[in-house]
């Protein structure tokens, strides 16, 4: 075999090896499945990254909250990594809002609002590919049913006016209400320290009340 032929065989060999390695690499799939705009109900989100919980109790909203009642919000792990590295919501970001009833208003820890049962599921996805014409490329979905007893298997996106106008007007960062999600607001582009416990200085504006 000539030296040239030997070198050529080496290159071919290296190429085949690279292809094999690529084939064996984990597939970088998104955490959702959309077909013709219809989103399949996501699963596994309770093992994603939690970002915050607003509570809008029925009893503080004339007996019936628009989104009853606690809202546990999660971001998919790949988009979380991107957020803590860059401070941006990447193409393919999905946020989940799981609705939870108020189970109790008093416990040994005091008066307040304590979570009860799961009563609904909503999602928002940022995708230029799927939603080129939506503001910020965000679309909004709900799997909650009217009686809050079951979840739909699939959901169509809401019309733009239903959700996007409030998110455009009032959300702090790229249509997301990061002002109510301390894990996102404190973790924005903060790298490893975004994961909690790394910093001694809490750097907050909290004023401890007097009394007791």
Rounded CA-CA distance 134/74 in Å is 22
Q: Which of residues 73-92 bind a copy of itself (CB under 8 A)?
A: 74, 80
22-30, 98-106, 125-133, 154-162 -> range binding a copy of itself (CB under 8 A): 98-106
Residue 55 binds to a copy of itself (criterion: CB under 8 A): yes
Residue 100 binds to a copy of itself (criterion: CB under 8 A): yes
Q: Which of residues 12-51 bind a copy of itself (CB under 8 A)?
A: 41-47, 49-50
CB of 57 to a copy of itself, least distance (A): 6
CB of 80 to a copy of itself, least distance (A): 8
Residue 109 binds to a copy of itself (criterion: CB under 8 A): yes
Classify each residue of 16-55 as buried b or exposed e, where b means 16 or more C-beta atoms within 10 Å of its C-beta. Answer: eeeeeeeeeeeeeebbbebeeeebebbeebeebbbbbbeb
CB of 120 to a copy of itself, least distance (A): 8
CB of 207 to a copy of itself, least distance (A): 9
Rounded CA-CA distance 58/154 in Å is 27
Q: Which of residues 164-193 bind a copy of itself (CB under 8 A)?
A: 166, 169-170, 177, 179-183, 186-187
CA 90 to chain centroid, in Å, comes to: 11
Rounded CA-CA distance 204/194 in Å is 15
Give the count of residues interacting with a copy of itself (CB under 8 A): 87
Residue 52 binds to a copy of itself (criterion: CB under 8 A): yes
Rounded CA-CA distance 92/139 in Å is 11
Rounded CA-CA distance 43/69 in Å is 21
Instruction: Say if residues 87 and 98 touch (Cβ distance below 8 Å).
Output: no
CB of 91 to a copy of itself, least distance (A): 22
- Closer to a copy of itself at the Cβ: 7 or 107? 107
Residue 7 binds to a copy of itself (criterion: CB under 8 A): no
Residue 134 has a CB neighbour count (10 Å cut-off) of 19
Residue 72 binds to a copy of itself (criterion: CB under 8 A): yes
């Amino acid at each position: 075999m000539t030296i040239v032929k030997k070198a050529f065989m080496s290159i071919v060999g290296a190429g085949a090896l690279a292809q094999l390695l690529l084939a064996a690499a984990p597939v970088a799939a998104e955490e959702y499945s959309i077909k013709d705009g219809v989103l399949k109900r996501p699963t596994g989100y309770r093992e994603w990254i939690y970002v915050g919980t607003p509570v809008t109790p029925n009893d503080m909203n004339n007996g019936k909250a628009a989104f009853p009642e606690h809202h546990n919000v999660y971001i998919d792990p790949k988009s979380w990594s991107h957020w803590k590295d860059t401070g941006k919501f990447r193409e393919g970001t999905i946020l989940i809002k799981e609705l939870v009833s108020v189970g109790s208003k008093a416990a040994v820890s005091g008066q307040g609002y304590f979570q009860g049962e799961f009563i609904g599921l909503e999602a928002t996805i940022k995708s230029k590919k799927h939603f080129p014409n939506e503001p910020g490329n965000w679309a909004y979905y709900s799997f909650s049913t009217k009686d809050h007893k079951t979840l739909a298997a699939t959901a169509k996106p809401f019309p733009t006016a239903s959700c996007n106008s409030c998110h455009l007007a009032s959300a702090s960062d790229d249509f997301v209400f990061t002002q109510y999600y301390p894990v996102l607001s404190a973790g924005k582009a903060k790298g490893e320290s975004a994961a909690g416990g790394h910093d001694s200085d809490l750097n907050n504006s909290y004023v401890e009340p007097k009394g007791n």
